[in-house]
Amino acid sequence: LTYVIRERRTDVTFESFMTEYQRPLLRFAAALTSDARLAEDIVADVLGRTYERWARVSSVENPLAYVRRMVVNEFMSRKRREKRWAVSPVDDGRIGTGPDHASAHADREALKARLADLPQRQRAAIVLRYYEDLPDGEIAAVLGCATGTVRSLISRALSTLRVSDSDGGSSVPTPNAPSSARIDEGSR
Amino acid sequence: MITESDLRQTLIELADLAPDRCDTFQARRPAAPATRSRHALAAVAGALVAAAVVVAIAIGSPAGHSPHTHRSPAGHGTASSAGSISPQARATLTAIVRADAAANGDPDAPADAVLTTYQGLEHNNRRYFTMLVATFATQKRPVAAPADPLWVVQLRGTFGDGNTVMTTFVDGTTMRELAGTAGSDPPGAAERQLAMLGPVVHLR
């Protein structure tokens, strides 16, 4: 490709950033939205803007964190415009909320439904904590609030979700959710 | 009892919904009525390319086409009205034609030509320009090919909510419907923008 962006401080080109982080960003956005199509739109929008601002984005210490924040902002912005745009959720049978005979599965379906009803900032905080495994400070940076506010958002969200905190610390990474943690290391 | 582990697992399941990438137009098309077949899409794309070539020839004609305006209402121009196109439309079409040529030769040229043109357009025109090029590109080459991420992003990223616009456009929606789909644009804005690109738009 002829359009290779010259960075100011890093060796990361937009193309390589795209190649490496597009998929993790899409997964993050899907966790944020519960909607594959909306996630794709958000990420496409954000990456488009990222390209236009690449000189600036690539010069920050952690471009991924910067772009992830853009994703969160776009998510919250779209939620505010939801009535106008009336985004249709993807109906692929995997995010249904109907009853299920397996209680564990039914619990998770119910949990998905409650996640969908969370206020945007609470949802974002939950995803940043439990999917991206970010500490309070980084979540606060993404959401543009104080760490105390992050804790409050998460606490309220957990209460709404009826999630018990009995199974360990909230920032313990799980084997299946390493995407951003691994990515962050790679991007520095 | 729902635990934090359950929550993590649920979020992973949601993340698994994500597509592998910001995918091709076809992959993200909403469930279309059965009457809208791939054949129709292919026909549209073929017509689009043909129009681009026709207009490019017109643009490049030594006879020259004075920029007199005889645009019909709502952009229902014809390929024969190529001489009336605006400089932006001319640039658009030129870029499309270059992309067409490059698709058969130099793989780097499309992004170059398209981006150059894109950057020269006013903001309001970019969406529609992108729509056209994306429509073209989707049919001509794998838009979301991993080897060409820039192309994808530049085409898709400018859409935003306008993604729907592209879909309905290719599906043969009328321009008035298109204007409505464009969302925040005032009534007629999409029509005016598309009218500027009339020779191509007409060939839906």
Cβ atoms A175, B15 nearer than 8 A: no
Say what the pLDDT of residue A21 is: 85
Residue B157: strand pairing partners: none
B 121-180 → A contacts, CB under 8 A: 146-154, 156-161, 163
DSSP code, position A171: T
Q: Closest to A15 (Cβ–Cβ): which among B150, B158, B184?
A: B150
SS3 (DSSP) at A79: helix
Say what the pLDDT of residue A71 is: 93
Question: In this complex, do B3 and A36 lie within 8 Å of one another by their Cβ atoms?
Answer: no
Say what the pLDDT of residue B56 is: 38
Contacts of B150 in chain A (CB under 8 A): 1, 3, 14-15, 18, 51
Place of tokens 């415009």: A81
Question: In this complex, do A30 and B14 lie within 8 Å of one another by their Cβ atoms?
Answer: yes
Contacts of A37 in chain B (CB under 8 A): 28, 30
C-alpha span between B52 and A139 (Å, rounded): 49
pLDDT digits (tens, 9 = 90+) for A128-184: 999 999 999 999 999 999 999 999 999 999 999 988 765 444 443 433 433 333 333
Dump the DSSP string for B158-186: TTGGGHHHHHHHHTT--HHHHHHHTTTSP
CB pairs under 8 A between A and B: 168
Say what the pLDDT of residue A167 is: 46
Q: Which amino acid is at A5?
A: I
User: What is the average pLDDT across A46-59?
Assistant: 77
pLDDT over 80 at A60, yes or no = yes
Angstroms from B135 CA to nearest CA on chain A? 16
Q: At what angle do helices A120-130 and A63-80 cross, to 10 degrees?
A: 150
C-alpha span between A135 and A118 (Å, rounded): 20
Q: What are phi and psi of A164, to 5 degrees?
A: -80, 145
C-alpha span between B74 and B193 (Å, rounded): 9
A 74-113 → B contacts, CB under 8 A: 84-85, 88, 90, 92, 94-95, 104, 107-108, 111-112
Contacts of A168 in chain B (CB under 8 A): 4-5
Say what the pLDDT of residue A18 is: 73
Q: Closest to B28 (Cβ–Cβ): which among A31, A37, A94?
A: A37
Comparing alpha-carbon positions, the chain A residue that sits nearest to B106 is A1
B 36-75 → A contacts, CB under 8 A: none
A51: its two tokens: 């390209």
Contacts of A112 in chain B (CB under 8 A): 10, 13-14
DSSP code, position A164: E
**Of B72, B79, B42, the residue nearest B57 (C-alpha):** B79
**DSSP alpha helix (H) spans, A5-62:** 14-33, 36-52, 54-57
SS3 (DSSP) at A163: strand
Tally of CB atoms within 10 A around A152:
14
Higher per-residue pLDDT: A99 or B148: A99
pLDDT over 70 at A51, yes or no = no
Residue A163: strand pairing partners: B2
Arithmetic mean of pLDDT over chain A? 72
> What are the Cα distances from residue A44, in Å, to A4, A37, B77, B166?
19, 10, 32, 14
Say what the pLDDT of residue A155 is: 93
Dump the DSSP string for chain B: -EEHHHHHHHHHHHHTTS-SSS--HHHH-----TTS-HHHHHHHHHHHHHHHHHHHHHHT-TT-------PPGGG---GGGGGG--HHHHHHHHHHHHHHHHHTS-TTHHHHHHHHHHHTS-HHHHHHHHHHHHHHHHHHS-TT-TT-HHHHHHHHHTTGGGHHHHHHHHTT--HHHHHHHTTTSPTTHHHHHHHHTHHHHTT-
C-alpha span between B24 and B114 (Å, rounded): 18
Say what the pLDDT of residue B82 is: 26
Say what the pLDDT of residue B95 is: 52
Ranges A52-61, A96-105, B155-164, most confident: A52-61
Angstroms from B137 CA to nearest CA on chain A? 16
C-alpha span between A28 and B18 (Å, rounded): 8
Q: Which amino acid is at B204?
A: R
> What are the Cα distances from residue B154, in Å, to A48, A146, B127, B180?
6, 35, 11, 24
C-alpha span between A163 and A127 (Å, rounded): 14
Say what the pLDDT of residue A97 is: 46
Angstroms from A76 CA to nearest CA on chain B? 14
Cβ atoms A128, A139 nearer than 8 A: yes
Q: What are the pLDDT tens digits along chain B (204 aa)?
A: 788 888 999 999 999 988 765 543 222 333 333 333 333 333 344 444 444 443 333 333 332 222 222 222 223 222 222 223 344 444 544 554 454 445 445 544 444 444 555 455 444 445 445 545 544 444 333 333 323 333 333 333 333 333 333 333 333 333 333 334 434 344 444 444 444 433 332 222
B12: its two tokens: 């992973």
Say what the pLDDT of residue B21 is: 57
Contacts of B6 in chain A (CB under 8 A): 104, 107-108, 111, 163
